[in-house]
Amino acid sequence: MAQAYMTEPGQGHHPGQAGSRAERLRNWWRPEGMWRRGIVLAALAVVLGLLMLLHRQIPNTVGNLGSLLETFLPWVGLGIPLLLLAAVLRRSATALVALVLPVFAWVLLFGGQITDKAGTGGNLTVATHNVNADNPDPAGTARDIVAAGADVVALEELSGDALPTYRQELAKAYPYHTIEGTVGLWSKRPLTDTRPVDIKIGWTRALRATVTAADGQQLAVYVAHLPSVRVNAQKGFTANPRDASAKALGDAIHADPVKKVVLLGDLNGTMNDRSLAPVTSEMRSAQGAAGDGFGFSWPASFPMARIDQIMMKGMSPVKAWVMPSTGSDHLPIAASVKI
């Protein structure tokens, strides 16, 4: 006798629906599907890698786009984890393989900067700090500088109102000093042959002095504050005055008869920026040679770029570091040097 079976509503068998779901699942995990998906993500990964590897080829003719990219070049690597996440969610083997290129490019350019390269044996410590003309506590900033214990200290953006405070607070620790315009140099060692340096901006924001080390060796110390740069929608990266100043500064350093030279200051540009080549091509970055990490110095609230620099030639940096924040919008930086 035939028996009838009843099913609850919604529990009926739908072969077509089940089959389509199974088919979709098989297609989702099918290897050839994983290679076909994510072509756009793979293309973006390739573009990201080429952007880092070929950054020198980005022209400066329109809005100084090349220099703008090079100023923040390490941050381009943030695109890698974003693309990785998208590739995993998309289940795209093609995108994952393409990510090898930007990873390789970033490691090639910046892998050496994330390791600690500090050594020992330095016999002179130098420091530089853009103290900010609007610093609300110049006395506190000066005390922080003294506490750092550097032998030679360069200060930039010295305002007329705050200058007496810096003179007073630094006098005991640093018996020798010279000031030209808005930059100054304080030293525990004697200073001679001090003079302003013309960096072609119409007023004085650079100086040069000879420092005599404890063993009698002499080194030329330059302090410079290159013109500021701006980014806006109409003009792009407005860096032409800075670039002209960099060339003038590079020419002065190149012509200096003293073979051991240290440059301290706010260059408003990074070592990656091609427009600073008149300076960077002749000198070695203390941070790049003996630092730990990227050493970003600006802005102090969330450092994104190292535009404050310690560079040298004729001597070896053995350690470089970023000092704690003061009342300025820049972080002070320091380096130990073996003369």
pLDDT per residue as tens digits for the range 1-52: 445 444 444 444 455 555 567 666 555 555 556 787 899 999 999 999 999 9
Last residue of some domain: 61, 80, 114? Answer: 114
Place of tokens 């044996």: 121
Q: What average pLDDT does this structure show over 318-328?
A: 96
Any domain includes 9: no
Q: Which of 307, 267, 311, 306 is nearest to 286 (CA)?
A: 311
Q: Are 131 and 157 in contact (CB under 8 A)?
A: yes
The total number of structural domains in the chain stands at 2
228: tokens are 């500021």
The answer to whether residues 96 and 181 belong to one domain is no
Residue range(s) defining the domain that contains residue 65: 15-114
In Å, the largest CA–CA distance within the chain is 119
The answer to whether residues 20 and 82 belong to one domain is yes
Q: Are 215 and 256 in contact (CB under 8 A)?
A: no
Mean pLDDT of the chain: 91
Structure pTM?
0.87
Q: Which of 286, 289, 299, 304 is nearest to 325 (CA)?
A: 299
Percent of the chain scoring above 70 in pLDDT: 89
The answer to whether residues 239 and 129 belong to one domain is yes
